[in-house]
Structure 1
Amino acid sequence: MKTAVVFDSAGTLLHTYRVAKDIINDSMVEGVETTTLTCSAKGRALVLLYAHSKNIINEPESELLSSYLKFNGITFGVACSCGVVTIGDVSDILYSDEVAKTGDLQTCIRKVWSCCKKLPVVAMNSGVIVNKNIGRIEYAITSGGRPFSGAKKTIQTLQEMDIATYVASGDRTDKLMKMADYLGIPHGNVHGVSTPSIKAQIVKDLKEVYENVIMVGDGVNDIAAMKEADIAILTEQQKGKKPKILVEAADYIINDVSEVIEIAKKSNLQK
């Protein structure tokens, strides 16, 4: 194989519905782009919680989220951050916050489930945004997604063209595996809980194996990987305003994941 295509998941392969609860202002934000929200203030980190939604829902809503996480030994992964936010910083806040309740996260889970329960949901994740500069959990977040209509056919066509397909995403690996099974992407080619720097390293490592590596993403956390790739594709299939810095990092801007096929085909023939 000469060419490999690396996909982000949410917003790229999956049409994703996200909601966040602003815990400080006690308000809901729907259709939020979590990476953009995270990167809009220094000291923030987007944290994935390795807890099943059903288990969270069964907890008393008045219980402190930090107590629930600590008592049940819930671990986490950092998807991205704005500035330097260490694992230690996140851990200190996550397990000691005295404001966020399990009920805040339950509200997000129920909202997403009410919209996605009739769809073939492939990935559903919950987490929080912590802020090192104020030492607390700012937002509770849940997302649910289903594959874009052309995603499965796109992956199959690329593989028939002898083009390798990979996933590098900030989402949880176990959730991504369900999506990979549906789309036909080998488990060994799926990289979960990938921060921007890890995504970039994945692309860099693949360039040692393939003559051409394409990165397909839709958020600011994909910029480093897009810059590292031989070809950077920004997908706008999931609507929403894209930051200028993200647009400028792209060699191609597409409106449907299937458009990757022709770009990859052209690239494969040129190498």
Structure 2
Amino acid sequence: MHVAVVFDSAGTLLRTYRIAKDVRTGELLVDVETTMLTYADPDRVLCVLHGHSRDFMKASPDLLVSDFIRDHDIAFGISCTRKVIEKEAVKTILHDDRQAKIGDMQECMRIIWSEIKEQEIVALNNGLIVHTGLMIIEFCVTAGGTPFPGAQETISALHRRGVFTYIASGDREAKLERMADYLGIPRDRVFGVATPAIKEKIVRDLKQQYDIVMMVGDSINDLKAMRAADIAILSNQQPSVKPHELISEADYCIRDLRMVPDIVYDVLEKS
């Protein structure tokens, strides 16, 4: 029997530190779950920027984010949204906003870097939440993560059993690929900047190839994929408030990633 396990990244494979800055008020939201922040308003869209953190840090803090994105041709991906929206519409907001400054991004980056800089393996992602109703960049966001204890061993245990592992995440693909190299997941099984709809499609496509497909996630943006999977595993290794609909969808709830191989073995024995 052929089995595939699809993992979310932030909060599932990685212990993740997140921060968001409200551009209008200057308020810093520490350890905020950016997907829940995005889902709180149907007009919000979470975008992942493909620019290198070093380049953002070198720029003048007074420079408008929109000018930097436009002048440096910074690509972006839509990571999370509650509604279907054209990428060009989001690009227009990113290029025309006159409030968010590079200094806002730099402030977020410094805080997160201070949390993860001592770790051996780290991933740092920068993004923006735009508001399509107000036509502004509403929040600057930064997330940094490091693998949970046992993550590498978990993937190895699954591979020894002949289980195929995948990553489907809203994070940047380049960052995910380096993390996948460390964990031992082939790069051709890594899907970055995946919206909830794309995650769902990935799971459905894999169901055409495998007898059983499991989805391991931790947040509301994993809900569609969990519903599409044969087995849904909800991770609470990084504790956060989970919506009821996410909890009710889970076949298993775990507090340690290292429980996943045992769940796979249990499912196989019952099949």
Distance 1:197 1:4 in 2: 19
- Indicate whether 1:158 and 2:155 are aligned: no
**Residue identity in the other structure for 1:174:** A
Q: After alignment, is 139-148 or 113-122 more displaced?
A: 113-122
Q: Give ranges in structure 1 of 5+ residues lacking alignment.
A: none
1:190-223 Cα offsets, whole Å, 9 max, x none, are 1111111111111111111110000000011100
Residue number in structure 2 paired with 1:188: 188
- Contact kept? 1:212, 1:267, Cα under 8 Å: no
Question: For residue 256 of structure 1, what is the aligned residue in structure 2?
Answer: 256
Question: 2 CA distance for matches of 1:91 and 1:121?
Answer: 32
- Measure, in 2, the Cα distance between the counterparts of 1:30 and 1:85: 28
Aligned positions, number: 271
In structure 2, what is the Cα distance between the partners aligned to 1:249 and 1:168? 18
Which shifted more, 209-218 or 110-119?
A: 110-119
Corresponding position of 1:64: 64
Map of 2:18 onto structure 1: 18
Shifted more, 224-233 versus 261-270: the winner is 261-270
2:265 corresponds to? 265
Equivalent residue, structure 2, for 1:99: 99
Aligned equivalent of 1:81: 81
d(CA) in 2 for partners of 1:47 and 1:3?
Answer: 32
CA distance in 1, matches of 2:82, 2:192: 19
Deviation at 1:2, TM superposition (A): 1.2
Q: Distance in 1 between matches of 2:7 and 2:178?
A: 15
Residue 233 of structure 1 corresponds to 233
Query: Cα offset for 1:120?
Result: 2.1
Structure 1: which amino acid aligns with 2:83? G
Amino acid at match of 1:179: M
1:168 aligned partner? 168
1:120 and 1:41 map into 2 onto residues whose CA distance is 36
Ranges of 4+ aligned residues in structure 1 off by more than 6 Å: none
> 1:84 and 1:23 mapped to 2: Cα distance?
24
Match of 1:6 in 2: 6
Aligned-partner SS, 1:9: coil
Q: Provide Cα deviations, 1:31-60, integer angstroms capped at 9, x if missing partner.
A: 010000000011100000010011000001
CA–CA distance in structure 1, aligned partners of residues 263 and 80 of structure 2: 28
Gap runs ≥5 in structure 2: none
What amino acid maps onto 1:115 in structure 2? Answer: E
For 1:266 and 1:121, how far apart are their aligned partners in 2?
31
Aligned counterparts of 1:153 and 1:261: Cα–Cα separation in 2: 10
CA contact (8 A) 1:121 1:144 kept: no
| Equivalent in the alignment of 1:120 | 120
1:45 aligns with 2:45: yes
- Kindly state the Cα deviation for residue 123 of structure 1 after the two structures are TM-superposed: 1.1
Aligned mates of 2:72, 2:205 — CA distance in 1: 36
* TM-score, structure 2 as length reference: 0.98
Q: What CA distance in whole angstroms lies between the structure 2 residues aligned with 1:124 and 1:105?
A: 13
Q: CA deviation at 1:248?
A: 1.4
| Conserved? CA contact 1:116–1:145, under 8 Å | yes
Q: Percent identity?
A: 46
The 3-state SS of whatever aligns with 2:96 is: coil
8 Å Cα contact 2:116/2:122 also seen in 1: no
| Separation (CA, whole Å) in 1 of partners of 2:189 and 2:93 | 33
The whole-number CA distance in structure 2 between the counterparts of 1:87 and 1:121 is 32
The Cα shift of 1:80 comes to 1.0
